[in-house]
Structure formats: C-alpha cells, structure tokens
Amino acid sequence: MRYRSASLIGAGVLALSLAGTAEAQQFFRIGTGTAGGTYYPVGGVIATAISNPPGSRPCDKGGSCGVPGLVAVTQSSDGSVANVNAIQSGQMESGIAQSDVADWAFNATGLYDGKPKATKLRVIANLFPEHIHVIVSGKSGITAVEQLKGKRVNMGLPASGTLVGARLYFDAFGLKEGADLKPEFLSPAQSVDRIRDGQLDASFLIAGYPVAPVVELSATIGAGLLALTPDMQAKIVKQVPYWAAATIPAGTYKGIDKDVATVAVGAQWLTSSDQPEELVYQITKALWNDNTRALLDNGHAKGKSIRKETALSGVSLPYHPGAERFYKEAGLMK
C-alpha cells in the first residue's frame, strides 16, 4: 500500500500551533483516497467536524463541536484496499472503504480469498453511495461499454477498490484485462488528463458524484459516461450482490443531459476494534451533531448524502462498540 503525506485539516493546523497547551491532545487519522476522488475531500470535512483541538472554544460557546482534544488528520491513499489493510495492521486509526471490499477483507472472501481475515475491522457509519463511472472523451464516439474491446482503459490504482470493481464490472461484459482491454493503473486525475491528451480511451471510476476531474473534463473538451442497459444492470447486480442499480442524474456533468444508468456501492467509515470505546462513541456523536450538518452540506456535494438516517444502511460488518452505543442511544439500533 502507498500512503502519501498527511494533510492537516484546519483544526489540525490550529492544534499544532497550540501544542504547548496543557490540555491533552490526540491525533486520529482517516485514510481516504487520491485528491481527485471523493474520499479525500469528504474525509477532510469529517476531520473538521470531529476535531476540537486543545484551546478551542467549547461547542456551546460557538466553538467546534468535535471531540475535546482530538485532532483528526486525513491521509491520502490508494483507496479502499489500502485503507482496510492499514486499519487491520494498526497503521491507521480509521479509513473510508467500499462496503464490498470491507466485507471481503473481514470474511476472507472475494478479493481476500485465502488471506487472513481482517477481524479488527469495525464500522463507524455508512456514509454515501459511490457510483460507477465509465468515462470517455465527448469526442470519442464511444457510446457503449462493448466498444472498449481493444481500447486503452484505466482500471484504477493497484490498492484501490476501483481496480477490484473494474475487474468485476468488465468481466460481466466478457472483457478481460490484458486480453480484451489494454489496462492502465492510474488515479482519477491522471486518467482524465490522459483522456484529454488522447493517450487513453476510457477510465473506470467508483466515486460519489460529482467527481472533480470529470467535472473538469466535461467543462473543457467534453465528457461522456457509458450507460448500462436494464439487462446489464440486472446481470451485474446479480453477480456482485453488494452493488445496486443506480443513476447518475442528468446535469451532474456539463453536456451530459440524460440520466446515466449505472450501479453503486456504499462507502463506509471503518475503524479498528483496538480503538477505545469512549473515543469512538465521542467521534460518532460528533459526526452526527446537529452543527455538523452545515459542514457536510456545504463542504462537498456528496456531503448532503451523509445522513444519520442512513448510517446503518448496507452494513454487514460489526459496529464498533462506541458507535453501537451511540446508535442505540439515538434510537437507530435496538
């Protein structure tokens, strides 16, 4: 797995300047993804919401409503697989991952078949749906997935859930990596740059829309998204039961004026069973504090989809005891 330099969200920067204070300070890392995806900016919003650095004003006096003394730090990574592995190994306190990747890791099935079970994984919350994008240039003339045979296609970074998903997705069409597709293994931003430069024909991406690099591509040379037929939607969902039929609405990206039929998977915030119950309880409480709503709604377009009412949706792994305590107190769990 490849982790990049940590990014301290506003609260963390403030905390460093107050490092000399007598108040206890604790760092809590959130593994995200690449800067061009959705995990990274959403992780930053969450980090801000749960942080309350030493010396900050208390919540009831107009200050942060995060966990007193906590400094949340976002960590850029290759994505789901890297985050799951880092949580299990103790290299990361928490991370965002696709629900299918998390389930496979916990149960040693699918991608993790034959590997040790990632038994330390625990859920804090289901966050938002991630939609599959198959991106092409608006000038390419490519209108269907079947037309990608023999083409140069980005499959996603090596330690990403996107790569896992790409292989499952294209397998449903009978398109094999290497034999039928000329694979590249790039970040979303890198892949869109190559589409723009004519060095790549298509890019597969699993992310919550709108995705910044696709927004940029659609605003420059134009972008296309390859839609699924109802039959292919049904076939893919049957083959990958963690996925569900979904739609990228018309107007999400400039020039794409019709709904795009696709499939989606849940993005979940995970932590380790090694994390203290009281800490995770306070973090979960801060995430769903009423004051966090404005941060989520205004911090990123996908933030509006992060809601307490769906925090338990699609969860197959055990909840962390701290998160479970909060949801029971909130009346969301029996």
Same fold, 6-128+267-329 and 130-265: yes
Q: Using the predicted structure, report yes or no on whether residue 126 has a pLDDT greater than 50.
A: yes
Q: Using the predicted structure, report yes or no on whether residue 6 has a pLDDT greater than 50.
A: no
Cis upstream peptide for 183 (omega within 30°): no
For position 61, what pLDDT does the model report?
80
User: What string of H, E and C letters represents the secondary structure of 231-249?
Assistant: HHHHHHHHHCCCCEEEEEC
> Mean pLDDT throughout 211-231?
96
DSSP letters spanning 116-156:
PP-TTEEEEEEEEEEEEEEEEETTS---SGGGGTTSEEE--
CA distance linking residue 147 with residue 1, whole number of Å: 33
> Mean pLDDT throughout 39-66?
90
> According to CATH, what is the number of the domain 6-128+267-329?
3.40.190.10
CB 237 within 8 A of CB 244: yes
For position 63, what pLDDT does the model report?
78
Q: Indicate the domain borders of the chain.
A: 6-128+267-329, 130-265
Q: Using the predicted structure, report yes or no on whether residue 233 has a pLDDT greater than 70.
A: yes
Domain 130-265 superfamily per CATH: Periplasmic binding protein-like II (3.40.190.10)
- Which of 8 and 186 is assigned the larger pLDDT? 186
CB 131 within 8 A of CB 210: no
- Which of 139 and 57 is assigned the larger pLDDT? 139
Confidence of residue 31 (pLDDT cuts 50, 70, 90): very high
Q: Using the predicted structure, report yes or no on whether residue 14 has a pLDDT greater than 80.
A: no
For position 25, what pLDDT does the model report?
82
For position 147, what pLDDT does the model report?
98
Beta bridge partners of 137: 223
Q: Using the predicted structure, report yes or no on whether residue 249 has a pLDDT greater than 70.
A: yes
The neighbour count for residue 263, using CB atoms within 10 Å, is 26
Q: Using the predicted structure, report yes or no on whether residue 11 has a pLDDT greater than 70.
A: no
For position 23, what pLDDT does the model report?
55
Q: 């504090």: which residue's tokens?
A: 289
Q: What is the pTM of this model?
A: 0.83
* 44 CB-side CA count, 13 A: 18
